[in-house]
């Protein structure tokens, strides 16, 4: 008999959520992560309201680690000539620090009954009437394995090979750089007030991508990102300098001459993989490309996928059928939940990243467009954006509000 029903490899939000729901359902669960927790992760740390709305069972673990809500967002056009101001009303996104948030989710999984192995790298996977996950600390055997090891997930690579899914190239994967300077409460209150407004700048310092400032309690989370093909060709220190100067001029960054670290991480931006299962295997989160190609938001999608994966794993354990065909009910479930949404976002990302000046301009002229734009970018509306036909609206605006300029 195997040691576990399921071994979840990767203890970030996607893996920890999978382990949490699996253990809660009474399954024997091992959760394995190569890092020792608490560990940090390069991220903006912005949670859309859907995380709490759609995963209410995790509320008691997440709520205590929320630093603050952000009540509105300011989206700037590249020239800074146009700005969309959008108030989130009751659907505020939440600010967390990943080191603390991820640890809380890992503890939630442990609390639900998962056995947690940190500082433990999953190095190989053997399928032989079950699955054996090899780690330097010993083998773990199970009926099913879940890959949640981020964009370079070795299990996802095996699955890609088996299902004929090509590796991401530089035009499909992005890199985002971020920094979390401590600015103190006085500066924070003065510059961002109780609203803790989010700032988003398209093409900061000229790079094709966007920059952000997400204010937490006393730290600022500042970053920028774009496709690898762009990021590889820029001078990161120069971009940091330009972006911080822009923020300082607007009063959003204190005086001084800081030297931000060049700290970044990859993120898939081409939408989810067309296959996310193989025999005895399910892939969730970043490793499956479940990230908004427009904003880089991936926490919600990965966590939601983890919850859906557990439903399929339960069925497979009940029937004893662990074939790819049986596990594909997971693939269909996440496709149904947010597959169309990610496809819409991929399409809109092309428009917004190519013509950000125009998109923001239309947002300033058309209140509905403004709402759609903020929703697309931050996923704040319960139920998501799918039904909004944002692209059709954008195209209608091209006719209604002609824009005499490019970019
Ligand atoms: C700079 C930046 C800013 C971002 N901002 C936001 C944001 O504000 N909001 C948002 O929703 N999303 C944001 N994202 C995306 C978000 O960070 C990811 O979508 C999210 O972390 C995905 O979670 P995950 O659990 O799938 O993967 P991860 O969080 O990457 O977790 C993977 C885990 O697997 C472990 N692991 C890797 N290899 C192995 C191995 N061989 N064996 C065992 N363990 C292994 C790692 O240690 C890690 O803990 C941002 C991304 C970047 C890069």
What is the spatial distance between Cα 290 and Cα 10, in angstroms, rounded to a whole number?
A: 15
In eight-state DSSP terms, residue 46 is E
Q: What angle do CA 177, 181, 183 make, to 5 degrees?
A: 145
Name the segment(s) of the chain with CATH classification 3.30.9.10. 173-267
Residue with tokens 């909004």: 388
**E-assigned strand segments in 33-172:** 46-47, 68-69, 72-76, 83-87, 94-95, 115-117, 124-127, 131-135, 138-147
Residue with tokens 């939000």: 13
218-275 pLDDT, tens digit each: 999 999 988 888 888 788 888 888 899 999 999 999 988 788 887 789 999 999 999 9
Predicted local distance difference test score (pLDDT) of residue 388: 55
Predicted local distance difference test score (pLDDT) of residue 302: 98
- 142 with 114: CB under 8 angstroms? no
Q: Is the peptide bond before 38 cis (omega within 30 degrees of 0)?
A: yes
Q: Is 121 in the pocket of ligand 1 (CB under 6 A)?
A: yes
Give the distance (Å) from ligand 1 centre to CA of residue 80.
Answer: 31
- 32 with 140: CB under 8 angstroms? yes
Sign of CA dihedral 109, 113, 114, 115: positive
- Residue 132's nearest CA partner among 121, 145, 119, 147 is 145
- Residue 360's nearest CA partner among 128, 46, 75 is 75
Name the segment(s) of the chain with CATH classification 3.50.50.60. 4-45+97-167+270-345
- Alpha carbon 119 to its chain centroid, in Å, reads 23
Which CATH code, of 3.30.830.10, 3.10.25.10, 3.40.109.10, 3.30.9.10, is assigned to 173-267? 3.30.9.10
Pocket test for ligand 1, best of 43, 139, 288 (most atoms within 8 A of CB): 43
Residue with tokens 């919850």: 307
What is the spatial distance between Cα 389 and Cα 251, in angstroms, rounded to a whole number?
A: 36
Pocket test for ligand 1, best of 44, 66, 209, 345 (most atoms within 8 A of CB): 44
Please give the CATH topology (third level) of the domain spanning 4-45+97-167+270-345.
Answer: FAD/NAD(P)-binding domain (3.50.50)
| 128 to 29, 154, 211, 342, 352: CA distances (angstroms) | 19, 18, 47, 35, 47
Report the atom number in ligand 1 closest to the C-alpha of 174.
53
The kind and range of the H/E element at 377 are helix 367-378
142-155 pLDDT, tens digit each: 999 999 999 999 99
What is the spatial distance between Cα 385 and Cα 379, in angstroms, rounded to a whole number?
A: 7
Q: Is 178 in the pocket of ligand 1 (CB under 6 A)?
A: yes
Report the atom number in ligand 1 closest to the C-alpha of 265.
53
Rg (CA), the chain: 21
Predicted local distance difference test score (pLDDT) of residue 21: 98
What is the spatial distance between Cα 45 and Cα 42, in angstroms, rounded to a whole number?
A: 9
Q: Is 149 in the pocket of ligand 1 (CB under 6 A)?
A: yes
76-123 pLDDT, tens digit each: 999 999 999 999 998 899 999 999 999 999 999 999 999 999 999 999
371-394 pLDDT, tens digit each: 877 777 777 665 555 545 666 776
Predicted local distance difference test score (pLDDT) of residue 42: 93
- For the chain, the average pLDDT equals 91
CB atoms within 10 A of CB 216: 22
Nearest residue (CA) to ligand 1, atom 53: 265
Whole-model pTM over 0.85: yes
What is the spatial distance between Cα 359 and Cα 270, in angstroms, rounded to a whole number?
A: 21
- Give the tokens for residue 137: 């600390």
Tell me how long the chain is. Answer: 407
């Amino acid at each position: 008999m195997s040691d576990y029903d399921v071994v979840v490899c990767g203890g970030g939000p996607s893996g920890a959520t999978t382990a949490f729901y699996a253990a809660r359902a009474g399954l024997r669960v091992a959760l394995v992560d190569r890092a020792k927790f608490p560990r940090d992760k390069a991220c903006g740390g912005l949670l859309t309201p859907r995380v709490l709305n759609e995963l209410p069972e995790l509320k008691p673990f997440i709520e205590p680690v929320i630093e603050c809500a952000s009540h509105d967002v300011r989206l700037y056009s590249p020239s800074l000539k146009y700005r969309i101001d959008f108030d989130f009303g009751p659907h505020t996104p939440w600010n967390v620090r990943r080191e603390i948030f991820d640890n809380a989710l890992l503890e939630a999984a442990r609390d639900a009954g998962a056995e947690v192995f940190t500082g433990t790298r999953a190095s190989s996977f053997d399928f032989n009437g079950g699955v054996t996950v090899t780690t330097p600390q010993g083998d773990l055997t199970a009926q099913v394995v879940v890959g949640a090891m981020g964009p370079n997930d070795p299990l996802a690579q095996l699955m890609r090979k088996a299902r004929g899914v090509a590796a991401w190239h530089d035009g499909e994967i992005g890199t985002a750089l971020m920094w979390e300077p401590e600015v103190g409460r006085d500066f924070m209150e003065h510059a961002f007030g109780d609203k803790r407004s989010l700032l988003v700048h398209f093409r900061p310092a000229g790079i094709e991508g966007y920059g952000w400032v997400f204010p937490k309690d006393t730290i600022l989370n500042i970053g920028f990102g774009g496709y690898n093909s762009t990021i590889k060709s820029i001078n990161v220190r120069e971009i940091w300098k330009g972006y911080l100067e822009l923020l300082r001029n607007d009063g959003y960054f204190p005086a001084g001459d800081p030297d931000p670290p060049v700290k970044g991480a990859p993120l898939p931006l081409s939408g989810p993989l067309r296959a996310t299962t193989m025999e005895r295997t399910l892939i969730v989160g970043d490793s499956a490309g479940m990230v908004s190609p427009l904003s880089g938001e991936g926490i919600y999608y990965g966590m939601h996928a983890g919850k859906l994966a557990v439903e399929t794993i339960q069925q497979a354990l009940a029937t004893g059928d662990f074939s790819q065909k049986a596990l594909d009910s997971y693939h269909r479930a996440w496709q149904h939940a947010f597959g169309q949404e990610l496809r819409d976002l991929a399409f809109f990302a092309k428009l917004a990243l190519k013509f950000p000046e125009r998109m923001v301009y239309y947002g300033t002229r058309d209140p509905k467009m403004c709402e759609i734009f903020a929703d697309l970018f931050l996923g704040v509306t319960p139920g998501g954006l799918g039904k909004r036909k944002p692209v059709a609206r954008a195209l209608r605006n091209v006719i209604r509000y002609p824009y005499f300029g490019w970019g």
